[in-house]
Structures are given as structure tokens and as C-alpha cells.
Structure 1
Amino acid sequence: MMSAYAVVYAFALVGIGFAAVVLIAAKVFRPSVPYARKESTYECGIPAVGSTEVKLNIRFHTFALLFVLFDVEILYVYPWAVTARELGRLALYEMGAFLAIIFLALAFAWRKGALSWE
């Protein structure tokens, strides 16, 4: 008798196998004619001036991580807000604890200077 997850495993195996076959076939059958102009950086049709490798400030990384943190938080808060009345007080306490942890993270980032751009 098949387990309940056998169908899921079969679909996953078929999907991964199909993707692997397509990627391997594309690599085997594609034409490969490398030359310098093809491998250069494209700058809107204008020849690149200077180095095309730009070093970004690490602050962008910190801001991006903070944005993702608070953006994903909304994914949890919105469904709770829609169904808050049906969920009862326990869900209210749980969401309060969740938001308290998020705001503690915000306060920590603020105190460490992660939100200042100086």
C-alpha cells in the first residue's frame, strides 16, 4: 500500500528530473562561440568607461536585511488582523508577543546605529 506522501514524492521526483533533463539538454545542444565582445559588460549600448565592478557600501546590506525582516512581519500580521475576532484572546497574546519581539529587534537595530546613514 502506498503511503500518503508517495504521490508528493513522485511529483517532486518527476519535477526535479524534468528540470535536470531540460538543463542538461540546453547545455549539450546550445551553440558555444565565446569572444571578447560577448563576454564584456553591457552598458545600454554605450562602451563601458572604467571598471564595471562597483563596490557597494555594506550599509545597503543592513538596510536590505531590515527591510526583509519587517516586510515578512506583515505577512504574518495581516492574516491575523483579518481573522482576529474569531481567533480569540490567546491569538491576541501570541501576536502581542510576536510584535514585541519584532519591536525589540527594531530598537536593537536603532540603538546599534543600523538605521543611521552617516
Structure 2
Amino acid sequence: MLSMLLISTLTFLISLIVMMISTILAKKNLLDREKNSPYECGFDPKESARIPFSLRFFLIAVIFLIFDVEITLLLPIASTLNFSNLFAWFSVSLIFLFILLFGLYYEWSQGALDWS
């Protein structure tokens, strides 16, 4: 236990020392106007560097991430069946699935899943 504490402290101190040395030795000028501009060639930009993206695509991506997290929450439910009370496991699983299905129905009824 003491060796683990010693190793983790030593690792932390070495990384801290390396970060401090790199900060001291780095030759950066944060106030350089040309480097902060979207085009690093030295000319002032004529147009905005930001291009618009589809808000629908962003919404679908967020919904995908939400359901991806929900799947990771569903996976341990099957493995905990042998270690828990059957009634409690069944009721918690059913409530969780009901909440997920209700959210999916709500997104579907609001038109969030329609691409066109």
C-alpha cells in the first residue's frame, strides 16, 4: 500500500516538474494577432471562418449520444440478475425501460427523429 502511494506521488511530481519546465521554456506570445486569426498567412480574413452546419444533424448526434449512454446503463442490468432479488430486479428494469421508451416516444412525437 505504501509503495503504491509512493509511486503515485512520484509520478505526480515528475509530471508536475515536466509541465513547469515546458511552461518556462516555451516561447509563446499569446497576443500575436496573426496567429489568433482564422488564416495564419498574415492577411486579414474577408469572410467569417465559421461555416454553418445542419442543426438537424446536431440534434440527431445528441440523441445518438443519449441513447448510447442509456445502452451502457442497460448492459449491467443483465449481469446483476443472479446477484439480486428477482422482484426488485424486474421492477427496476421495467421502470428504466419504460422511462427510455417514453423518452423515445416523446422525441418521435415532437418530430426530432424525422430527417426531412
Say yes or no: TM over 0.5: yes
Name the aligned partner's letter for residue 88 of structure 2. L
| 1:110 match | 108
| 1:61 match | 58
Tell me the TM-score normalised to structure 1 length: 0.61
2:96 to 91, 95, 98: 98
* Long gaps (5+) in structure 1: 1-10, 43-49
| Cα deviation digits, residues 61-117 of structure 1 (max 9, x gap) | 211221121111111111111222332221111111011011100000011000011
| Structure-2 separation of matches of 1:100 and 1:82 | 20
Name the aligned partner's letter for residue 103 of structure 1. L
RMSD across aligned C-alpha pairs, in angstroms? 3.6
Tell me the TM-score normalised to structure 2 length: 0.62
Mean Cα displacement is larger for which, 68-77 or 103-112?
A: 68-77
* Percent of residue pairs identical: 24
Aligned residue runs from structure 1 range 5-84, under 5 A = 22=19, 25-32=21-28, 36=34, 52-84=49-81
| Structure-2 separation of matches of 1:37 and 1:78 | 47
Distance 1:40 1:26, change over 3 A: farther
SS at match of 1:86: coil
SS at match of 1:105: helix
Higher RCO (C-alpha 8 Å, min separation 6): 1
| Cα deviation digits, residues 4-34 of structure 1 (max 9, x gap) | xxxxxxx8xxx6xx66x82x65444212365
* Long gaps (5+) in structure 2: 1-7, 41-46
| Structure-1 separation of matches of 2:110 and 2:34 | 46
